[in-house]
Amino acid sequence: MKHVTMLAAALALGLGAAAQAEEKFITIGTGGQTGVYFVVGQSICRLVNRGTAEHNLKCTAPSTGGSIANINSIRAGDMDMGVAQSDWQFHAYNGSSKFEEGGAFSDLRAVFSVHPEPFTVIARKDANIKTFDDLKGKRVNVGNPGSGQLATMEVVLAAKGWTMADFALASELKPAEQAQALCDNKVDAIIYTVGHPNGSIQEATTSCESNLVAVDGPAIEKLVNENPFYSWATVPGGMYTGTDSDTATFGVRATFVSSASVDDETVYQVVKAVFDNFDRFKKLHPAFEILKEEEMVSAGLSAPLHPGAERYYKERGWVQ
C-alpha cells in the first residue's frame, strides 16, 4: 500500500514537472485600467487559466496604451493577442490612415468582436459645451498616445478641417487621470471611446457637474457613410448623472485580434475558453450583456479570421 502511494506521488511529481515544462505563456494587450479593454483581457485570461491543466496555456493581460499600442505590440511579436477598435483593425490590415507609413500589417488576424464603443464627449456644465463644435477654443483631453481614441479623434478633426491647435489645450492624459482633470477644472471636456457603462465616465459625471455631448453633423455623417467600421451610436439617457436624454454620436466596435504567426492551437484554445463559458464571460462586465456569439464572429471584423478561431466557429456552425 505504502509503495503504491509513493509510486503515485512520484508519478504526480513527474507529471507536474512535465506539465510545467510545456506551459506556454500568452499575453493579451488591453488598455487603461479604468477602461473596458482591461476587463476584456482579464476576463479572457481568467477563463483560459481555468483550463491550464488541459491545454498548458498561461494567460496574462497587462494594462497598455490601447488599440494602436496593442496592434504594434502584436506586429512586433511582443504580444500574442490584443483588443483594438474596428477602425484601427481595418487601417492596420490595409496600411491606411495612421498605418500608411509603417505599411500594411498583412499578418493581422481577427479573432472576434466584442462590445460597441461610442465616441463619447463629456464636458463640464460650466463650460457651456452643447455640441462638438463648441469644443473649439476649449481645453480638451484628447487621449493618451497609443490609444485608439486619440487616433480616432485625429480622424474626426481632419474630417472637420480642424487641428489640435483649434483647442486652447489638447492634453493627452490617460483614461485613469481624465475624470479628475475634468473635475479639477484642468480641462473643459474629455473624450473617451469606450464601452458603456464605464467607471471613469461615472466618476466624471458624479464628482462634478458634467454632461455628455452629441457628436453629429455633416462631417460625422460623411465618416459614417463612407466607412464600414463606423456606425451611429447612442448613449442611453439616464445611464450617467446629468444626462437624462439619449446622446447621439458615432462609434466603433471593440475587436479581439492576433497575428498569423500565433499558432492555430493557441488561438483555438483561447476562443474555446471564451465561447464554451460564454454565460460566465458575459457576466464579467455590463457592456458584455448584449453580446451574441454569431454576431461576434463577423461584426466589425475586416482582417481575415485567424484559422484557429475559424476552426472553433465551424465546429459550432457559426461560419461555413
Residues that bind ligand GLU (CB under 6 A): 31-32, 35-37, 66-67, 85, 117, 147-149, 193-195
Angle at alpha carbon of residue 47, lines to 77 and 118, rounded to 5°: 70
Task: Report in angstroms how near the CB of residue 238 gets to ligand GLU at its nearest.
Answer: 22
Task: Report in angstroms how near the CB of residue 287 gets to ligand GLU at its nearest.
Answer: 9
Task: Report in angstroms how near the CB of residue 269 gets to ligand GLU at its nearest.
Answer: 24
Of 114 and 129, CB closest to ligand GLU = 114
Name the burial class of residue 231, with classes exposed (0-12), middle (13-18) and buried (19+) by CB atoms within 10 angstroms of its CB: middle
> Dihedral (C-alpha) 277, 279, 284, 285: value to the nearest 10 degrees?
140
Task: Report in angstroms how near the CB of residue 35 gets to ligand GLU at its nearest.
Answer: 2
Task: Report in angstroms how near the CB of residue 316 gets to ligand GLU at its nearest.
Answer: 27
Q: Which of 96, 106, 288, 122 is nearest to 191 (CA)?
A: 122
Task: Report in angstroms how near the CB of residue 109 gets to ligand GLU at its nearest.
Answer: 18
CA distances from residue 283 to 59, 117, 203, 227, 277 in whole angstroms, order as listed: 20, 18, 22, 32, 10
Whole-number Å distance between alpha carbons of 122 and 212:
4
Of 135 and 194, CB closest to ligand GLU = 194
Backbone angles phi, psi at 34, to 5 degrees: -95, 0
Residue with CB nearest ligand GLU?
A: 35
Name the burial class of residue 283, with classes exposed (0-12), middle (13-18) and buried (19+) by CB atoms within 10 angstroms of its CB: exposed
Of 35 and 308, CB closest to ligand GLU = 35
Of 117 and 188, CB closest to ligand GLU = 117
Of 36 and 61, CB closest to ligand GLU = 36
Task: Report in angstroms how near the CB of residue 10 gets to ligand GLU at its nearest.
Answer: 48
Contact status, residue 271 vs residue 308, Cβ threshold 8 Å: yes
Q: Residue 112: which residues within 8 A CB-CB, separation 6 or more?
A: 255, 256, 271, 274, 296, 297, 301, 309
Task: Report in angstroms how near the CB of residue 254 gets to ligand GLU at its nearest.
Answer: 7
Of 31 and 300, CB closest to ligand GLU = 31
Of 127 and 194, CB closest to ligand GLU = 194
Of 57 and 83, CB closest to ligand GLU = 83
Task: Report in angstroms how near the CB of residue 154 gets to ligand GLU at its nearest.
Answer: 12
CA distances from residue 285 to 91, 143, 196 in whole angstroms, order as listed: 28, 23, 9
> What is the per-residue DSSP string for 113-163?
EEEEEEEEEEEEGGGT--BGGGGTTSEEE---TT-HHHHHHHHHHHHHT--
Of 195 and 300, CB closest to ligand GLU = 195
> What is the number of other CB atoms lying within 10 angstroms of the CB of residue 6?
10
